[in-house]
Structure 1
Amino acid sequence: MGLRAENRRMLGKLAVVAAGMFAFGYALIPLYQAICEATGINILSLAERQVPGNAAATPVNTQVDRSRTITVEFDANSRGPWEFKPGQRSVQVHPGELTTVMYEFRNVQSRRMVAQAIPSYAPMQAGSHFNKLQCFCFEQHTLEPGESRQWPVAFVIDPRLSRDVTTITLSYTFFEVGGSFPAAPKGPST
């Protein structure tokens, strides 16, 4: 048998292996879906299915406690010559429900500034149950003179929060990082 015949035979074997690999890859998706459905390990795919007779079925978040409502009030404090305020003063939420609110900031100075916000909660016990998923307070922000921005705060209140807490105040103090702070106001002399 010549070298050419061996090369053709090897080429044939490699073509069969390549075709087999392609067939396996093509069959892998339905095979994976069948295995996951049979074992129940792919829970997320249940939300992608359409329920017969209800084409717009949306899964219900069972972690939301709809039996109670909490008022979340928003406050903004700043130390410096800029404008900082919540986009809305309060919202009504159910524990476990994802909520997003906006805060507005405007640098009214004629210079660039770097600033950061520090959150606080009232009552204090609410702080450990107020879970922020997105917050501008996680990092410092550089703003140019006259620049305005809006920042989101996405949060969920843990349903394990005591039932006697019906109102939470989220307050941010916004301060310049590394900048000069205005002098504290002087009280009346005694």
Structure 2
Amino acid sequence: MARMAGENRRMVGKLAVVAAGMFAFGYALIPIYRHVCEALGINILAVGERQVPGSSSAKPNTQVDTSRTITVEFDANARGPWHFKPAQASIRVHPGELATVVYEFQNVQDRRMAAQAIPSYAPRNAAAHFNKLECFCFNQYTLEPGEKKQWPVAFVIDPRLPKDVTTITLSYTFFEVGGKTPPAPQAVAPLGAGGRG
């Protein structure tokens, strides 16, 4: 019996040593992980946390193609009685560079309205390379009578844009959703066309 009690104490002692060793190993894993990842160059998050934007040690964005400049023109079309325009007519950006522009809108009607914008691009093949990160065209908006809004468009032009494209026009058509929009203008027949003869 005394022999069994002694073996149990030794087993408890061994288990306590193993448990303490496991706890110490788990506690030491964090600094070990940091050192291994830094040595292998795979701890990207930790490297980014140490770099302060604007400091000389910050690495430049290698995805920006500074050898090219694209002119982006902004256009606005309104299908209804309201004011809608870009805050600036155009900007020049490098492919891969983040850019932001603002569009201005005012509901000049005496009633509430719901509206949405639809984008289009020229040339057409630029659409696949024009990546919008934030755009008012993603949502519908309800505006009170006389209400003014400014909406940003944040975008990046893919560096894979064909080399022959140097100008892109981003055009928005803003129309009322579920309301009355004026009909499209009709072509007027020239005077005298109507069969004299």
Fold conserved (TM > 0.5)?
yes
Alignment deviations for residues 122-169 of structure 1 (CA, whole Å, 9 cap, x no partner): 001101111111111111111111111111111111111111111000
What is the CA–CA distance in structure 1 between the aligned matches of 2:144 and 2:119, rounded to whole Å?
23
What is the CA–CA distance in structure 2 between the aligned matches of 1:35 and 1:117, rounded to whole Å?
51
**Could you say which residue in structure 2 is the equivalent of 1:37?**
38
Do the aligned partners of residues 55 and 112 (structure 1) sit closer, same or farther apart at CA in structure 2, a change above 3 Å counting? closer
**Cα RMSD after superposing both structures:** 2.6
1:80 Cα shift?
0.3
1:173 Cα shift?
0.3
What is the CA–CA distance in structure 1 between the aligned matches of 2:153 and 2:60, rounded to whole Å?
23
**Could you say which residue in structure 2 is the equivalent of 1:172?**
172
What is the CA–CA distance in structure 2 between the aligned matches of 1:179 and 1:45, rounded to whole Å?
52
Alignment deviations for residues 14-54 of structure 1 (CA, whole Å, 9 cap, x no partner): xxx8xx97x88875653442232133222232233359xx9
Do the aligned partners of residues 113 and 48 (structure 1) sit closer, same or farther apart at CA in structure 2, a change above 3 Å counting? same
C-alpha contact (below 8 Å) 1:101/1:154 kept by paired residues = yes
What is the CA–CA distance in structure 1 between the aligned matches of 2:186 and 2:119, rounded to whole Å?
26
What is the CA–CA distance in structure 2 between the aligned matches of 1:49 and 1:121, rounded to whole Å?
40
C-alpha contact (below 8 Å) 1:106/1:146 kept by paired residues = yes
Larger radius of gyration: 2
**Could you say which residue in structure 1 is the equivalent of 2:58?**
58
**Could you say which residue in structure 1 is the equivalent of 2:145?**
145
Q: Any gaps of 5 or more consecutive residues in structure 1?
A: 1-16
Alignment deviations for residues 54-89 of structure 1 (CA, whole Å, 9 cap, x no partner): 954322110110001000000000110111000110
How many equivalent pairs are there? 172
- Give the letter for the 2:179 counterpart: G
**Could you say which residue in structure 1 is the equivalent of 2:122?**
122
- Give the letter for the 1:45 counterpart: A
Structure-2-length-normalised TM-score: 0.77
1:181 Cα shift?
1.1
Secondary structure at 1:110's aligned position in 2?
coil
1:117 Cα shift?
0.4
**Could you say which residue in structure 2 is the equivalent of 1:6?**
none
Secondary structure at 1:48's aligned position in 2?
helix
After superposition, residues 11-160 of structure 1 pair within 5 angstroms as 29-49=30-50, 55-160=55-160
Alignment deviations for residues 103-129 of structure 1 (CA, whole Å, 9 cap, x no partner): 111111111111110000000110111
Do the aligned partners of residues 29 and 152 (structure 1) sit closer, same or farther apart at CA in structure 2, a change above 3 Å counting? farther
Secondary structure at 1:33's aligned position in 2?
helix
